[in-house]
Structure 1
Amino acid sequence: MGYANRILRVNLTTGACQAEPLNEKWAQLYLGSRGLASRYLVAEVDPKVDPLSPENKLIFATGPLTGTIASTGGRYTVVTKGPLTGAIACSNSGGFFGAELKFAGWDMIIFEGRAEKPVYLYVEDDQAELRDASELWGKSVWETEEWIKAKHQDPLIRVSSIGRAGENQILFSCIVNDLHRAAGRSGVGAVMGSKHLKAVAVRGTKGVKVKDLKRFLAATNAAKQVLATNPVTSQGLPKYGTQVLMNVINEVGALPTRNMREVQFEGADAISGEAMHRPRPSDGKPQLVTNAACFGCTIACGRISKIDKNHFTVKNSPKYWGASGGLEYEAAWALGADTGVDDLEALQYANLLCNEQGMDPISFGSTVAAVMELYERGVLTAEQIGFPAPFGSAEALAKLAELTAKGEGFGRDVGLGSKRLCEKYGHPELSMTVKGQEFPAYDPRGIQGMGLAYATSNRGACHLRGYTVASEILGIPEKTDPLTTEGKPELVKAFQDATGAFDSAGICVFTSFAWTVADIAPQLDAAIPGEWTPERLLEVGERVWNLERWFNTRAGFSAKDDTLPKRLLEEPAATGPAKGMVNRLGEMLPKYYEVRGWTADGVPKPETLARLGVDV
């Protein structure tokens, strides 16, 4: 109940596709999706494995609420060892693919080995087989989805695939489903490309059963009412999407600008959610067409946009003129404020290329920002790049997006990510990364808790592993001062554990603007075996966090990796409320280790692992 109780194991080397029962003991401990897939990965993959070798595994996993009527129950995760970081990688995606996988009767797919030639997996309920994808290799995500639907004469097939970025093993390539939803971070698309797996196509007709339907209906309806009456989930996100944050974060002095040299961007309003609503001077139409929802979602924060067809980037490219996935906050920030570009249409163009060819716009934009700083310092020249690339150049942003998507010219260097690129050109200090992964859109000098969250994130710099911005800026569930460090270790741990529970349930973390684990527990308790309380859910989240940390420790990570770039620790913010401040990570990290039950060196203590039942 709630689970399909089956996983599909696909050996790409031999071509075998076999069903096996779900490990129900692990499901009770790790719930599903992020947690359960991580447990399988830890059991089956050597933490020291080369992420792009056949010995690494790639896991697509649903949660127990995926495919149900629970709001936002369309999520799935991709878990592997990430090539961008060398750490455990877990990328979460929405859309409709996850629900379809559950409808077909599968909780999880585990891919192992490597195919000799390009293949795609076709799943139709109980039937699963690998098929030749030679015709698809070299095609974009958009072309791949269209080809598969035409091939099987079924427009309702859900497709998750890689574009040329994944084929070329760009280290921040992602896996895209439903044309513009993505398992976006840590290079999961590169792992898929290394296995010669082009796509997964799923058609399911089974539905999902729950333990107690009457109680489940009552619990999900009550939870939906909470979302419907919360101003963030009923007004802000539907109208502006995550882009509601652009002007807010800029005003509080925490919008990283020009490779995080500055904390406020003078062009923020021009690339904001509000700007997406404004009529363009060129044609009198706004970029935003409508909002959109993933499967089962009652929030509908997605953006569907139309680029200005007279913009220099697409003037001769009609294929980009139609309505497609629009800018989210993180993408708009990385492609915009971080590069100093305030041309909204150029940002949308780069975003379209990221969707089309499967690239993470956060890592791409942040890497371009590093390139622009290297260019302005004279380390890189126009001859090396192929053209001038100063901060603020929409032309350079567009050209670098094209080259990186194709894996051509200087785009091959950009595809390394900023850590390796900056090391290559002798300035590792200019890479704004943690554990090799680029920062998201919150400057930790202006939001102290996020600095600790970034430094300790198991998958490298990430806002979706402990979004203390909710408390420090938005006052959810209660307001804390973003400029102080007191209480932040406890706050970060609480957010990290709760997020682990949300992710493992198979729902969207955006519900946490309105919900707590007390809203999820009744839904799970009615849907799946066992008794589920808020306390048990938080324990699941803590267990998942420690399991991930255990993997990373054995992969070679240590306390020295729980840090931030020198720029954020030594160069004070020059403007805004945080003027004169750096991130005071050193004040928070020892206490964080203490509240986690780890040693002073950041290693989970045996008694902590025993208490949580992390039996590895």
Structure 2
Amino acid sequence: MSWAGKLLRVNLTTGTVKSEPLNMEWARQYIGSRGLGTKYYTSEIDPKIDPLAPENKLIWATGPLTGTMASTGGRYTVITKGPLTGAIACSNSGGYWGAELKFAGWDMIIFEGKSPKPVWLYIQDDKVELRDAAELWGKSVWDTEAIIKKELQDPQVRISSIGRTGENGVLFAAIMNDLHRAAGRSGVGAVMGSKNLKAIAVRGTLGVGNVRDPKAFMKETMERKKILAENPVTGEGLPTHGTQVLMNVINEVGALPTRNHRDVQFEQADAISAEAMRRPRATDGKAQLVTNQACFGCTIACGRISKQDPNHFTVKDKPRYQHATGGLEYEAAWALGAANGVGDLEALQYVNQLCNEEGMDPISLGATLGAAFELYEMGVLTKEQLGIEAPFGSAKALVQLVEDTIAGQGFGKEIGQGSKRLTAKYGHPELSMSAKGQEFPAYDGRALQGIGLAYATSNRGGCHLRGYTVASEVMGIPVKTDPTATEGKPELVKAFQDATAAFDSAGLCVFTTFAWSLPDLAPQLQAACDEAYTVEELSLIGERIWNMEREFNNAAGFTKADDTLPPRLKTEAAKVGGSKGQVSQVDAMMPKYYEVRGWDSEGRPTAETKARLGL
């Protein structure tokens, strides 16, 4: 089997660590990573717990294909209750850390309690110890990595850590690994900080446990890599342009949320696009993009490595930010750019570096800033409160407010609480472009009816990675559907959500689903694991995971009233593009969605559904 077969339980209150055998019955029912980690979490936690209380738990989990030769097999997830939302939080990351944990012989780490002082965890195969993190506390992710690697005298050690935002309780703080890969959403970094846990450093030399049928596994994975290579998205679009390939595409469709969703097209979209990252600058003749980069075992290589203009106002006197490092992804470029009306590519890359360095979700950050910019333009917020003039389009205001958020000073403290709390405090809760308290990503729910329904029903709040119907509505994958139509969208959303849960739980990247479907995942899992996973069973497992998450949220206090979108998307029609005149029909689609899910009219899984899924 390709599970390691054991987990590590760390009690931070007592400072003890112990090994436990993995519950293989649960592994069969939930696969691994997102599914299995969430099963452990929901079995051990009161759903009404305060996310930042010591009683909350925090789980790092890999999948059975993590660390194997399956393409993109480097993923891991962090599971907890999110402080931004109060809902189940499960944030997925790539890079190399997840594979390293498997190489050290562990499937999962469960953290309990709260350390009386800052600590970090060191894992070298079976050797596990908590170490004093006094020297690391207050340091950035980048400095933390450098200090730990120097102390261990091991440049190959892999580190998962938080920056100052996680320590300071920014509610959308991320957990970072490999300098610029992130378990980014829902505030998992704030939970880590609340436990006085600074980092986990892992060095594994054991490799992955025996796959069930090595020859069959090699055959299946090689065939699937060929499919990825020949697909226009995974073989050409993503390697060439990264996720930023979408900026101009989504803008042309009229689905690019702009200036806090007031508009659906951004007139400067091309200036912050993948194409712009490749164009020589007028200042020095060099392009921002240096090269692409892959995570562990990935044959797609969508990551960007970029280098800023050293003379730009953001970095002119800051050599620390003048080197090549993680470059803009589509979501970050949109959230920091179009959502705020900012078309300065160099300013966006600088802020992107800050998000990586200090561990912050650029989606929630950018969307919260967008709400603040709108409140400023309305006269609700003033220059005196913000510390700077902040009209839409101001790169200087964007940069200063982000720096203040990291430092926990001035109005940055307000930004760090997210848009739901910010807009409510200043009397305009309708200006938070979020669902269940988590800010939307880079697709407008009026232009793409399916993604609007996916946002409203996502178990972790506004999210595209739990059911990426953009693939169908814009790109025609696996079939083309009319983006403005509502007929069939509840069924489409459910199918995407269930399939994504299975891919996440296997330990693979969701980007493979541009080329693969469950019939591609099943034979890889069958060859690797002791289970004869069929397509039908994987679909059922995905549905089981989705309903498990839903049950946790319902018990935490969420109701059908939370399955909705802000008034703006339901009442203010899109002004241009293919969605001109459209509003979201999310409320009209919801009863059908509940029906296809097997839920009652209040959005609760019925007894029959729970029995069918073994919940």
Structure 1 length as normaliser, TM-score? 0.99
CA distance in 2, matches of 1:110, 1:423: 35
Residue of structure 1 equivalent to 2:367: 366
1:144-202 residue CA offsets vs partner (Å, 9 max, x unmatched):
00000000000000000000000001000000000000000000000000000000000
Deviation readout 1:62-98 (Å, 9 max, x if unpaired):
0000000000000000000000000000000000000
Which residue is 1:97 aligned to?
97
The 1-side partners of 2:206 and 2:386 are apart by 52
Match of 1:432 in 2: 433
Q: What pairs with 1:399-410 in structure 2 (closer than 5 Å)?
A: 399-410=400-411
The one-letter amino acid paired with 1:450 is I
Amino acid at match of 1:567: R
Q: Which residue of 2 aligns with 1:512?
A: 513
Partner of 1:595: 596
**In structure 1, distance between residues paired with 2:33 and 2:20:** 17
Question: What's 1:486 paired with?
Answer: 487
Pairwise CA distance, 1:127: 1.0
Taking the aligned partners of 2:406 and 2:159, their CA distance within structure 1 comes to 20
- In 2: Cα distance, 1:216 partner to 1:554 partner: 40
Other-structure match for 2:27: 27
Q: In structure 2, how many angstroms separate the alpha carbons of the residues matched to 1:126 and 1:219?
A: 31
What is the letter of the counterpart of residue 492 of structure 1? V
Q: How does 1:351-362 map to 2 (within 5 A)?
A: 351-362=352-363
Structure 1 equivalent of residue 139 of structure 2: 139
Query: Equivalent residue for 1:69?
Result: 69
Amino acid paired to 1:470 = A
After TM superposition, give the deviation of residue 529 of structure 1 in Å.
Answer: 1.1
- Secondary structure of the equivalent of 1:182? strand
Q: Structure 1, residues 86-142: CA drift from partner, whole Å, max 9, x if none?
A: 000000000000000000000000000000000000000011110000000000000
Q: Output aligned runs, 1:158-169, within 5 Å.
A: 158-169=158-169
Report the Cα distance in structure 2 between the residues aligned to 1:423 and 1:63, rounded to whole angstroms.
39
Q: Which letter does structure 1 place at the counterpart of 2:354? A: L
Secondary structure of 1:92's match? strand
Q: Distance in 2 between matches of 1:35 and 1:557?
A: 21
Task: Tell me the distance in 2 between the aligned counterparts of 1:413 and 1:240.
Answer: 35
Residue number in structure 2 paired with 1:501 = 502
Partner of 2:197: 197
Match runs of 1:581-592 below 5 Å: 581-592=582-593
Letter in 1 for 2:564: T
Deviation at 1:586, TM superposition (A): 1.9
1:460-486 alpha-carbon deviations (Å, 9 max, x no partner): 000000000000000000100001000
Report the counterpart of residue 79 of structure 1 in structure 2: 79
Aligned to 1:271: 272
**Cα distance, 1:534 vs. partner?**
1.1
- Mapping of residues 156-305 of structure 1, within 5 Å: 156-208=156-208, 209-305=210-306
Number of aligned residues: 614
What is the CA–CA distance in structure 2 between the aligned matches of 1:285 and 1:291, rounded to whole Å? Answer: 16
One-letter identity of the residue aligned with 2:584: N
1:499-548 deviations in whole A, cap 9, x for unaligned? Answer: 00000000000000000011111110010111111111111110000000
Q: Which residue pairs with 2:384 in the alignment?
A: 383
C-alpha offsets along residues 343-364 of structure 1, whole Å, 9 cap, x if unaligned? 0000001100000000000000
Matches within 5 A, 1:455-604: 455-604=456-605
Q: What SS does the aligned partner of 1:128 have?
A: strand
Question: Which string of whole-angstrom CA distances, capped at 9 and with x for unpartnered residues, describes residues 550-572 of structure 1?
Answer: 00000000100000000000000
Amino acid at match of 1:51: P
**Poorly superposed stretches of 4+, deviation over 2 Å:** none
Matched to 1:561, the amino acid is D
1:374 maps to amino acid: L
Aligned ranges 1:109-128 → 2 under 5 Å: 109-128=109-128
- CA distance, structure 2, for counterparts of residue 420 and residue 528 of structure 1: 45
Structure 2 residues not aligned, in runs of 5+:
none
State the alpha-carbon separation in 2 of the partners of residues 278 and 165 from structure 1. 33
Separation (CA, whole Å) in 2 of partners of 1:409 and 1:130: 35
Q: How many angstroms apart in 2 are the aligned matches of 1:534 and 1:96? A: 28
> Within 2, Cα distance between the matches of 1:206 and 1:22?
18
**Pairwise CA distance, 1:607:** 1.1
Secondary structure in structure 1 of the residue aligned to 2:155: coil
Instruction: Name the structure 1 match of 2:316.
Output: 315
Letter in 1 for 2:416: G
Structure 2 CA distance for aligned equivalents of residues 557 and 385 of structure 1 = 33
Q: Output the CA distance in 2 between the equivalents of 1:111 and 1:192.
A: 9
The CA distance in 1 between the partners of 2:19 and 2:561, in whole Å, is 42
What displacement does 1:602 show? 0.4
2 CA distance for matches of 1:162 and 1:272? 29
Equivalent-residue separation in structure 1 for 2:103 and 2:39 (angstroms): 23
Q: How far, CA to CA, are the matches of 1:435 and 1:117 in structure 2?
A: 33
- The letter for the 2-side match of 1:230 is N
Find the aligned partners of 1:586 and 1:76 in 2 and give their Cα distance.
34
- What letter corresponds to residue 379 of structure 2 in structure 1? G
The alpha carbon displacement at 1:408 in A equals 1.3
Equivalents in 2 of 1:155, 1:600: separation in Å?
55
In structure 2, the residue matched to 1:347 is 348
CA deviation vs aligned residue, 1:394-431 (integer Å, no higher than 9, x gap): 00001111111111111100000000001111110111
Residue 613 of structure 1 is matched in structure 2 by: 614
Q: Which moved more, 1:160-169 or 1:398-407?
A: 398-407
Over the matched positions of the two proteins, sequence identity in percent amounts to 71
Cα deviation, 1:414-464, whole Å, max 9, x if unaligned, reads 000000001111110111010000000000110000010000000000000
The corresponding residue for 1:54 is 54
2:325 is matched with which residue? 324
**Separation in structure 2 between the aligned mates of residue 412 and residue 500 of structure 1, nearest angstrom:** 34
State the distance in 2 between where 1:533 and 1:323 align. Answer: 44
Distance in 1 of aligned mates of 2:434 and 2:37: 26
SS in 2 for 1:8: strand
CA RMSD of aligned residues (A): 0.4
* Structure 2: distance between partners of 1:207 and 1:46: 36
**Aligned-pair CA distance for 1:34:** 0.2
**TM-score normalised by L of structure 2:** 1.00
Check if 1:108 corresponds to 2:118.
no
Matched residue of 1:577: which SS?
Answer: helix
Task: Report the residue type matching 1:363 in the other structure.
Answer: S
Look up the SS of the partner of 2:446 in the other structure.
coil
Cα distance in 1 for residues equivalent to 2:73 and 2:408: 35
Between 1:484-493 and 1:528-537, the stretch displaced more is 528-537
How far apart in 1 are the matches of 2:567 and 2:387? 30
Q: Counterparts of 1:431 and 1:27 in 2: how far apart (Å)? A: 38
